[in-house]
Structure 1
């Protein structure tokens, strides 16, 4: 064997070993995340069930709460996209997933669609407000390019609130509405999530926020405000890119609706409602709440406002769907996106954030996701579910 061939074999072996190690790390990460989420569900709502049933769910890739969300058994479990498969789907977007995991990066990603993105003023970091024009991305980090455009965080927030009345502050990382804060000013009073705070206390809270985006409060359309006025009631739309047809499609859609328990956010795990949305018509089904009590509570009308949920249609849905698919086509290199958007007027919307490998529970409550042949083929082509 000559030296060149030996070197080639050694390099090939090294690459194979490196891929094997990366694959092993991914698998360990997937199992760890699955276990962590199972424990988290116990903290949210402990479900009593025979240990044999719990083990059966785990063995088939489902968290215990799937026993409440789905009518899953030996005859149909393969039709449902499991919780463990969701962990595997985390890698579908490759390195582009970072743009979805980081709200600041996602804001930059939406530059071609400025009319559809939420207006974001800057970042709170270590007691300073940094104008977005003073920030640059460096790999996975955000670095400051200088003091130009920065000021004391509390000073900027209090002055801006006197002009606009309200602002949204949210961590540039995280999900589930954790840490999202609505601050406001009216009649000489500062408020955080509706609670009055003395100015010194308010400024102390703002100064303590690190790695937060400062954004406008998006005014939702009348239909959404009628459902529940004290939260931005968002649509979650799951798009997938079909590389066979060279086009994206909407795999599922749901409408989250805030409640007194979840306000100022609408998140399902905080007590908000989730209603299904017909991808063709934009028509809503009944809404349901997270099973804190151990069972799903269904609501055809809102439990706090009395507004009708079932049968409500998202105004201008065909135009919204067309625009969203155009955006998903532009980002074909990121083929798996969960879009959170607020409908602002008929046929118009603002994207709040994007999600990598989003939670699909409130889609599948209405029926197994893998029953859709196009959805199943997408996951098959990405190696997440086995071929039929």
Structure 2
């Protein structure tokens, strides 16, 4: 009998046989791996492209996006070798970090600012966090608008801005994503929603609003944790466009732009935008507003990084997270944590494995290049 087992027996502590969850994590990891191959086989890549990309560990779309036909692929974190350990790295903390409602409570406990919670929708019924009865949707909307001029509706658990929309009322007229809507249209839409969170709209910083005013423009930071603690591996600031509206989605063909951020200073570099085929175009200025992006400093950048680091300390088994923050004139608000995070938004600007500390982190989790 081991020393720890003897102490459990001595002090009458029942052993926790389900503590590791090893079987469940193994199944989830394999499912993620198999799903990645299923999606890849259904993609539009030619067999010629597949023969080039797959032996290197990359999906065809990634191979195109990162232009690996002319770059050193060993400097980039590959897709397929990452797909299995990706789930295990944060383990059972994935649903904690990824759930926007739960993360809001964690952020509040850690003293990290996030948008104020107004309510939720469960099977189309409004739920109030202060215990106020809110069975009637119209009454709930009235209650919520007393707190927030504009509201954000988003699923508790989602990614790539799926399902996100904005609601406000101006001169008695309801609007959804800036389009007029009747109260009947609005309540019909809300009754169809499940597991939705309702938060206040946060006014973004002047610099971000000037570059593109029609969407919330967000800072996304990849934070990793090694034996020395959490550290910033990469950062990018995204900006929306008329094609990406109502969000700043950077995914290929969605229209958003991503500008690399100097992680030491918080200064923006030239942005990149991807078309539907993954071809990248650089922009020193926003293509629609003609406002400069390259060289702009992000106000309160270091405060936001400190807040993300505090959140990492509050989530001790979260070893890699993609944090989204909305910068404001008086600071920042943490919007969500992406767990596990997709890496394209950062690697399209700079290969992650070029940094020795980042390379050691991924190697320690069994992720390398061929």
TM superposition shift of 1:369:
0.6
Aligned partners of 2:101 and 2:197 also within 8 Å: yes
Change (3 A) 1:23 1:198: closer
Give the Å deviation of 1:103.
Answer: 1.5
Aligned to 2:236: 254
| Residue 133 (structure 1) shift | 4.7
Map of 1:355 onto structure 2: 338
The question of 1:268 aligning with 2:250 is answered: yes
Compared with structure 1, are the counterparts of its residues 103 and 294 closer, same or farther at alpha carbon in structure 2 (3 Å cutoff)? closer
Counterpart for residue 267 of structure 2: 283
- Runs (5+) with no aligned partner, structure 1: 1-14, 135-147
Residues 162, 235 of structure 1: alpha-carbon distance in 2 compared, 3 angstrom cutoff: same
Distance 1:85 1:187, change over 3 A: farther
Structure 2 vs 1, CA of residues 74 and 261 (structure 1 numbering), >3 Å: closer, same or farther?
A: closer
CA distance in 2: counterparts of 1:354 and 1:23, whole angstroms? 20
- Check conservation: 1:121, 1:132, Cα contact below 8 A: yes
CA distance in 2, matches of 1:27, 1:38: 17
Q: Report deviation, 1:73.
A: 4.9
TM-score between the two structures when normalised by the length of structure 2: 0.86
Aligned residue for 2:110, secondary structure, equals helix
Paired position in structure 1 for 2:9: none
Matching residue within 30, 35, 44 for 2:37: 35
TM-fit CA distance, 1:351:
0.2
Distance (whole Å) between structure 2 residues aligned to residue 359 and residue 158 of structure 1: 38
Give CA-to-partner distance per residue, 1:9-55, whole Å, 9 cap, x none. Answer: xxxxxx9xx96x65763453133331354367x4xxx56x5x23322
The aligned residue for residue 5 of structure 2 is none
Q: 1:324 aligns with which of 308, 320, 331?
A: 308
Give the structure 2 partner of residue 55 of structure 1.
51
CA contact (8 A) 1:127 1:154 kept: no
Moved more, 210-219 or 99-108: 99-108
Partner of 1:373: 356
Q: Report if aligned partners of 2:98, 2:338 keep a CA contact under 8 Å in 1.
A: yes
Quote the residue 1:68 is aligned against: 64
Q: Give RMSD over aligned pairs.
A: 2.6
Q: What are the equivalent positions in structure 2 for 1:327-338 lying under 5 Å apart?
A: 327-338=311-322
Task: Please tell me whether the aligned partners of residues 30 and 84 of structure 1 are also in contact (alpha carbons under 8 angstroms).
Answer: no
3-state SS in 2 of match to 1:283? coil
Q: Mark the CA change 1:307 to 1:38 in structure 2 (over 3 Å): closer, same or farther.
A: farther
Structure 1 position 109, deviation (Å): 2.1
Q: Tell me if 1:211 matches 2:207.
A: no
| Moved beyond 4 Å, runs of 4+ | 21-24
* Partner residue, 1:84: 80
String of CA shifts for 1:232-274, please: whole Å, max 9, x gaps: 100000111121x2x2100110101111111121111232111
Residue in 2 aligned with 1:117?
114
SS at match of 1:132: coil
- Report the counterpart of residue 221 of structure 2 in structure 1: 237
Is contact 1:122-1:132 (8 Å) kept?
Answer: yes
Match of 2:4 in 1: none
2:12 aligned partner: none
* CA displacement, residues 279-310 of structure 1 (integer Å, 9 cap, x when unaligned): 00111111122331441122111111111111
Q: Assess, with a 3 A threshold, how the Cα gap between structure 1 residues 30 and 160 changes in structure 2: closer, same or farther.
A: closer
Distance between the aligned counterparts of 1:209 and 1:366, measured in 2? 37
What is the TM-score with the length of structure 1 in the denominator?
Answer: 0.82
Task: Compute the displacement of 1:162 (Å).
Answer: 6.1
The counterpart of 1:103, out of the listed 100, 103, 117, is 100
Change (3 A) 1:37 1:351: farther
- Does the CA contact (< 8 Å) of 1:276 and 1:362 recur in 2? no
Which one of 222, 228, 235 corresponds to residue 206 of structure 2?
A: 222
293-302 vs 274-283, which moves further: 293-302
Tell me if the contact between 2:112 and 2:334 (Cα under 8 Å) persists in the aligned partners.
no
CA contact (8 A) 1:117 1:351 kept: yes
Contact 1:233–1:256 under 8 Å retained in 2: yes
SS in 2 for 1:160: helix
Note if contact 2:25-2:87 (Cα within 8 Å) is conserved in structure 1.
Answer: no
Question: Could you list the per-position Cα deviations for residues 152-186 of structure 1 after superposition, in whole angstroms to 9, with x for gaps in the alignment?
Answer: 23431245336633100011111101110101110
